[in-house]
Chains A and B, each alone.
Chain A
Amino acid sequence: MDIINSLYSGFAIALQPENLLFCFVGCLLGTLVGVLPGIGPIGTISILLPVTFQMSPVSAIIMLAGIYYGSMYGGSTTSILVNIPGEAASVVTCLDGYKMAQQGRAGPALGMAACGSFIAGTVGVIGLMLFAEPIAEFGLKFGPFEYCATIILGLSLIIYLSRGSTLKALIMGAFGLILSFIGLDYMEGSTRLTFNIFRLMDGIDLVPVAMGLFGVAEVLDNIEKTIPTEILKTKIKNLFPNRSDWLQAKGAILRGSILGFFIGVLPGAGALISSFISYTLEKKIAKNPSRFGEGAIEGVAGPESANNSATAGAFIPLLTLGIPANIIMALFFGALLIHGMQPGPLLLKDHPELFWGLISSMYIGNGMLLVLNLPLIPIWVQVLKIPYKILLPLIVLFCIIGAYSLNNSVFEIIIMLIFGLLGYLFRKFDYEPAPLVLAFVLGPLLEFNLRQSLMVSKGDISFFFTRPITAVIISITIALFITSIINYFRKGGKKSSSG
């Protein structure tokens, strides 16, 4: 009954004209960046973060969430029509989606992707609604010791955030922590790592760091290459899949929705992995696996459902325990802090309007996305024809305005430029920026809780193993490390050295 009442008040918030508008804008932008190859939801959320400063916290989070799950819808369009994933999580959709388009079945492929996304997105939101509250209530038992252990667990996810070298991911994590310590020490008031630069006394903001690493670096990377966008010349008809398509795909959608949600909850896994696992599962249980890769509709429906459901699942660790499960959630973490809200168990208690407003907006957003992605598909096909190099100056412009508007200062533009150059060099040297951002976001929290815990325990670090909750969390962290080391040796050191 409580859930129904809360959901009712959530809908009252989400249906306010302002929030409805920002939900639509988020979904529209999400679909746009999902359709366009190159810039993804990470870059877009980084770039648009400063724009949200003018909004109420609920509107801001509703819009940013719309960008996130909207990009999952849009990503399939490019995969099916161009054979280039518009978004990383739609990579696997290329396999059967493009084949279907080549066979003249682009319509049912696009339609099934959108319908599957809608069903899975809704299943994911229901899961988020049901599971978040009990987990948050458990999280209320946390003190500095438990928080400290939780943040260490969050940091250990760096290993799983990297797709390449684990060693380099750990280096990025350590560097991210160092960057997060720049500026005034909140306990003693002394300045650290500022090198006598007065403007660094307040530390470095997340916004220019994220915009530099993901926005400017993306532009620099694309200056030197061309993204071929040859759209398949096919008539898009019969967008609504027929009865036999539904019969073939219904199981894949259901399995993808449930699987995607639980994989999304797992830290470090996210939409990309869930789509791959869903595809593998569908292929494994299929009566005729040889159809996969040749235009099987389950190969589109399963992964597209899984990646959408995973986006809702990823919100659980963030909103209930304050652990960002992936890089986008790390940006949400930063966004919530900027808006004066501390992600964690108290969020649901202190700001129920944010949580339930977000949940309700996700129901509404999924409906909006179905409309945006089915009847409006010809418009998105036209968008694909815009030369990417015309969009690059636009990304630069958004980054500049975003960085400047943070403190009305050009210093932030310089910081963004430095991180843009760093981000570009990281790509060249095979480093991934995601672990850096995660550590950068968690660094100050780790410092606060660790120093507090050490002072309370008088320097005795056995609290990690003697307190029941911390012992469980630290055991999970150690298990994650051990699994990673075993994988390293199993792969003959391929992942852990230099990429």
Chain B
Amino acid sequence: MKRLDQLSGFFWLFISIIVCVESISVRIGSFQNPGPGFLPFGSGIALGTLAIILLITSTMKKRIEGKVISIREVDLAKVILFLISIFLYALFLSWIGYLIMTLGLILFLLIIMERSRLWIKIIISIFIVLTSYVIFYKLLNINLPRGLFWF
């Protein structure tokens, strides 16, 4: 856990530096006349200070505990595939349209998550997509992208 804490400590320190630099560029102002960067700068300083405390405490902890939690056990491939699929979905949604893209996405997610026969997954996907279309588009009047086709 300390290695992860150290890693996250550096990440937060990095974020705080960026926020402080950005805040200075838009004017911090003063207590009498606080500018747009006043509170972002204060929050950036607070984040940086907390990150340093995290780094110090996690480094000191190493000597006492020596415990490392690895995240290797995580099925990273599935997680990455999931993220890529949603990203591609967002990228092509407006162009191809809700029904086709969502059908593809749900089927893909079921393939990577659920162990059952393909035809069952296809039926479940079609059912989910059509039901969501009726509920959100027809009943709740939520605007869903039509894309290439008329539906």
Selected contact of B75 from candidates A170, A224, A414, CB within 8 Å: A224
Q: Is the CB of A220 within 8 A of B82?
A: yes
Cβ-neighbour of A188 out of B35, B71, B83, B105 (below 8 A): B35
Contact (Cβ within 8 A) A397 B132 = yes
- A171-B51, A390-B110, A428-B74 known; A190 and B36 CB under 8 Å? yes
Find out whether the CB atom of B36 lies under 8 angstroms from the CB atom of A192.
Answer: yes
For residue A421, which residues in chain B have a CB less than 8 angstroms away from its CB?
83
* B8 near A429: Cβ-Cβ < 8 Å: yes
Q: How would residues 36 to 75 of chain B score, 1 for a CB under 8 Å from any chain A CB and 0 otherwise?
A: 1111100110110011011001100100000000010011
Distance between Cα atoms of A193 and B57 in the complex (Å): 30
Evaluate whether A51 and B140 lie within 8 angstroms (CB atoms) in the complex, with A193-B22, A430-B1 already known.
Answer: yes
Segment 403-433 of A: residues with Cβ below 8 Å from B: 404-405, 408, 410, 413-414, 417, 420-421, 424, 428-431
A392 cross-chain contacts in B, Cβ below 8 A:
109, 113
How many whole Å from B118's CB to the nearest CB in chain A? 15
Are B36 and A54 within 8 A (Cβ)? no
Contacting pair B109 A393 (CB below 8 A): yes
Interface centre among A193, A389, A393 (most CB of B within 10 A): A393
Q: Does A177 contact B (CB under 8 A)?
A: yes
Q: Is A498 an interface residue (CB 8 A)?
A: yes
Question: Is there an interface contact between B113 and A459, defined as CB atoms closer than 8 Å?
Answer: no
A175 at the interface (CB under 8 A from B): yes
B43–A393 contact, CB under 8 A? no
Check A497–B89 contact: CB distance below 8 A.
no
**Which residue from A219, A401, A458 sits with its C-beta under 8 Å from B136?**
A401
B74 near A224: Cβ-Cβ < 8 Å = yes
| In the bound complex, CA of A431 to CA of B136 (Å) | 34
**Contacts A54-B141, A454-B31 hold; do A170 and B4 have CB atoms under 8 A apart?**
no
For residue B74, which residues in chain A have a CB less than 8 angstroms away from its CB? 224, 428
Q: Is A451 close to B, CB under 8 A? A: yes
Nearest chain B residue, comparing its CB with the CB of A393: B109
Identity of the chain A residue whose Cβ is nearest the Cβ of B46 in the assembled complex: A174
Please judge, given known A-B contacts A417-B86, A497-B57, whether A387 and B32 are in contact too, CB under 8 Å.
Answer: no
> Is A400 in contact with B89, judged by CB distance below 8 angstroms?
yes
| Inter-chain residue pair count (beta carbon < 8 A) | 173
Interface residue A142 (Cβ < 8 Å from any Cβ of B): no
- A171 to B8, alpha carbons, bound, how many Å? 10
Q: Are B50 and A404 in contact (CB under 8 A)?
A: no
Residue A446, interface by CB 8 Å: yes
CB of B148 within 8 Å of the partner chain = no
**Do A417 and B54 contact each other (CB < 8 Å), given the known contacts A190-B26, A428-B74?**
no
Chain B residues lying within 8 Å of A429, measured Cβ to Cβ, are 4-5, 7-8
Chain B residues lying within 8 Å of A167, measured Cβ to Cβ, are 50, 53-54, 57
Chain A contacts for B105, CB-based, 8 A: 393, 396, 400
Tell me if B1 and A413 are in contact (CB < 8 A): no
Whether a CB of chain A sits under 8 angstroms from the CB of B19 is yes
How far is the CB of B61 from the nearest CB of chain A, in Å? 7
Give complex CA distance A219, B114 in Å: 13
Contact with A along B131-148 (1 / 0, CB 8 A): 010001000111111000
- Which residues of the partner chain B approach A454 to less than 8 Å between Cβ atoms? 31-32, 34
Q: Nearest Cβ distance between residue B65 and chain A, in whole angstroms?
A: 10
CB within 8 Å of B: which of A213-258?
216, 219-220, 223-224
Instruction: Knowing that A171-B54, A429-B5 touch, tell me 7 more A-B residue pairs with CB under 8 angstroms.
Output: A167-B57, A190-B26, A192-B36, A224-B74, A224-B79, A390-B124, A455-B33
The contact sample of 25 A-B pairs, CB cut-off 8 A, is A51-B142, A54-B140, A167-B54, A170-B50, A171-B12, A171-B54, A174-B43, A185-B36, A191-B26, A193-B23, A195-B22, A220-B82, A390-B110, A392-B109, A393-B109, A393-B113, A394-B128, A397-B102, A408-B143, A413-B86, A420-B86, A429-B8, A430-B5, A498-B54, A498-B58
Write the residues of chain B forming the contact surface with A, with a CB cutoff of 8 angstroms.
1-2, 4-5, 7-8, 12, 15, 19, 22-23, 26-27, 30-40, 43-44, 46-47, 50-51, 53-54, 57-58, 61, 71, 74-75, 78-79, 82-83, 86-87, 89-91, 93-94, 102, 105-106, 109-110, 112-114, 124-125, 128, 132, 136, 140-145
